[in-house]
Structure 1
């Protein structure tokens, strides 16, 4: 069930940053719920956070995964959870590492791997690709590319570059969801994160795809994030 207590304008908000830039973000779900910053996949935009079922969460999707501390201050949020989906995982992990004193939980779904192959999607994904979910995803992708392709180009470079931290240094309660039959991101990536992040809880499913696991696991993910708030 989707909670949409926020107005349509909440999908098109801007946060002024100290250096004069503005960070685009969107809010959805329960305004009084547990605040959770959502890092979208590759490609994507803040709108991706408005597409998912939400129960008791205040989801905040960001266009660019930077200056999250400043955005939290702008929204008068002290502690918060973090979700990283596919290409958003490196950024969610970075926030959990760099702002660990403010992050109460980290949820990772289908972690992104560099140099990913073209894939035949499982039947579970095909059902989503042929329905309204795909139209909504395309809208998010178009929003991310509306002004420039520079953001996507920067993401592609970052995925292949060395990180400034190691997963073993993440000290935030972490849960990982990954589909064993994922043809986009291999299960070995999820297993690597599960083995590296201290005390991470791993949930490896058997009947989803790269896209459908997000929908089918969302209640469990929301429960995890709420339990750590």
Structure 2
């Protein structure tokens, strides 16, 4: 099933509003469990289907960054809001991975991916995982390799604690009590949604920038890509780098974040007053936050969803769950690397500050059919490198053409 929409033209004209408001960027599927999931499609509607499983707090709007690249590559990219994120509903006990059943990590992500593929009548698809999304990608690949086209593209693979070589930051987080993490993060996010708190006057983008992560991610550069098996660190003495060809543009990143912030504020207002309509809640948060950067951001398309706008007492329910999974609070992955028989291509930046290169090399050796490409000076958000993204999508398209 495809939806006729001028999204391809919008990607060429760099029209953020057209990208965000496209019907293809806001579709819904209700699972047998009753969970309502929002998903997006970008690129060539008749192209090779590829599912993208994103990292912490996976959101469908991330796919919009790749609209132009996917159009050029002949790819139909599909991404969805994870439960508790964006326009998707919340998980309840028994609806997949709630706290009690999270020992089978990302079971819900796998089921949602397959449900959307079946709904769209897609028997086989390419698979791209980023950061924490690589864990769910390998979980899916273990039992459903026959449905995957070509090598699974794994960008900056995240490794659950106790993996060899994991970063000190993750080790420290893994030592903290799960209830403490949940309480602190929930309180911080709830405070961020409180209209009487100053956080509302400082958009999340500015907070992240002050922390340094956002600026470093945007400023990271990458030069040549090379298979790690063909070139050692000692041989790589050329420190010359070219400007990274960004898949994303700063205005689009800011536009997405402002839109998400405003939606979370409206969702919070609705949870506090069930009598409010979505439109009334929007007007309320505009008045309460006259200086908010997202005040005049147009989110009318999201507010007019057909099955009701999600009402959340605080932002990030899905993010908190993913954070706890990522820190190993629900056990290890639902697969062993040696059991994943599907071919995998790992792309990892040598300047990734979250996942050490040594740990990724160990993962690549443990996977039976894996190729590791190290990107010189690439950061953890290597997926935003236009050159690398084109190479990754190209591998999937080539595999599809030869019937793999």
Shorter-chain-normalised TM-score: which range? Answer: 0.7 to 0.9
Report the equivalent of 1:124: 220
- Equivalent residue of 1:184, what SS? coil
Report the equivalent of 1:200: 370
More displaced 10-residue stretch of structure 1: 53-62 or 128-137: 128-137
Which consecutive residues of structure 1, in runs of 5 or more, have no partner in the other structure?
Answer: none
Report the equivalent of 2:4: none
| Mapped contact 2:50–2:78 kept (Cα < 8 A) | yes
What does 1:60-209 align with in structure 2 at a 5 Å threshold? Answer: 60-64=78-82, 65-67=109-111, 68-105=113-150, 106-114=152-160, 117=169, 121=216, 123-124=219-220, 131-132=250-251, 134-136=253-255, 138=257, 142=261, 147=312, 148-159=315-326, 160=328, 161-209=331-379
Greater share of residues in strand: 1
**Residues matched between the structures, number:** 227
In the alignment, the residues of structure 2 paired with residue 11 and residue 32 of structure 1 have an alpha-carbon distance, to the nearest angstrom, of 16
Match of 2:74 among 56, 65, 77: 56
Structure 1 residue 133: deviation in Å? 5.2
Q: Which has the larger radius of gyration?
A: 2
Structure 1 residue 213: deviation in Å? 4.9
State TM-score, norm by structure 2: 0.51
Structure 1 residue 224: deviation in Å? 1.1
Greater share of residues in helix: 2
- Cα root mean square deviation, aligned: 2.9
- Equivalent residue of 1:101, what SS? helix
| Mapped contact 1:178–1:203 kept (Cα < 8 A) | yes
Which consecutive residues of structure 2, in runs of 5 or more, have no partner in the other structure?
Answer: 1-6, 10-18, 83-108, 162-166, 170-210, 222-243, 268-311
More displaced 10-residue stretch of structure 1: 77-86 or 135-144: 135-144
Structure 1 residue 154: deviation in Å? 1.3
